[in-house]
Chain A
């Protein structure tokens, strides 16, 4: 069962392109997250949304622009990316914001992004 759906699963884009990643959760959760997963590095939290409001931005470059129109949908708009931005981008949701690390996070299967 995957209550968190990410599209596309794979994306190849040039550095001057503009594209968007989409995440949708069917779990009735109120918090949504974007993570970046690079080889041999820990999962990096990028953005946190709680009830559609952005509550955290972990010093992410402005070429990544998140959008959360409602509690079920989360987008990551990409523009003028760099080769080092190639990674797996994971979306997650939880019932409430995981401030104490005790909220189960439900992850999507990610978008594998390659920047040419």
Chain B
């Protein structure tokens, strides 16, 4: 079974703290996507990483694709309450799109 494992599953931090979320697999991915899902809404695409070792920045969010294209990380600097939500990674090893189980982030003011 090809899986995407995310860690941690839950994270509760204070406003202003930094955090990193991980997405790992034993499979090689041609690309990985990160989505954020806020309560009561559907997931929204944040970024797609394609090249091994690639780093992409979206304001305070930094996404990295592992050199071997088997893992990815999302780092948030100085988290804000608006960053609260479920963060999902997704990829398509073997042509079938799969999602990780998500990291539920809560940022308290």
> A residues touching B (Cβ–Cβ < 8 Å)?
4, 40-43, 45, 56, 90, 92, 98-102, 104-110
**Inter-subunit contact A42/B102 (CB<8 Å):** yes
Please indicate the chain A residues that have their CB under 8 angstroms from the CB of B90 in the complex: 43, 101, 105
Going nearest first, the 10 A-B pairs with the smallest beta carbon separation are A107-B42, A101-B92, A43-B99, A102-B31, A101-B91, A42-B101, A99-B95, A104-B45, A42-B99, A109-B42
Please indicate the chain B residues that have their CB under 8 angstroms from the CB of A45 in the complex: 96-98
Size of the chain B interface, CB-CB below 8 angstroms: 29
**Inter-subunit contact A42/B32 (CB<8 Å):** no
Given contacts A42-B99, A45-B98, contact A101 B42 (CB under 8 A): no
A contact patch SS? loop
Which of B20-73 touch A at CB < 8 Å?
A: 29-33, 35, 40-45, 48, 50
Please indicate the chain A residues that have their CB under 8 angstroms from the CB of B85 in the complex: none
Given contacts A90-B42, A105-B45, A109-B42, contact A100 B99 (CB under 8 A): no
Given contacts A45-B96, A108-B42, contact A101 B32 (CB under 8 A): yes
Q: Which residue of B lies closest to A94 (CB)?
A: B97
Q: Within 8 Å of chain A (Cβ to Cβ): is B88?
A: yes
CA distance A105 to B42 in the complex (A): 11
Please indicate the chain A residues that have their CB under 8 angstroms from the CB of B30 in the complex: 100-102
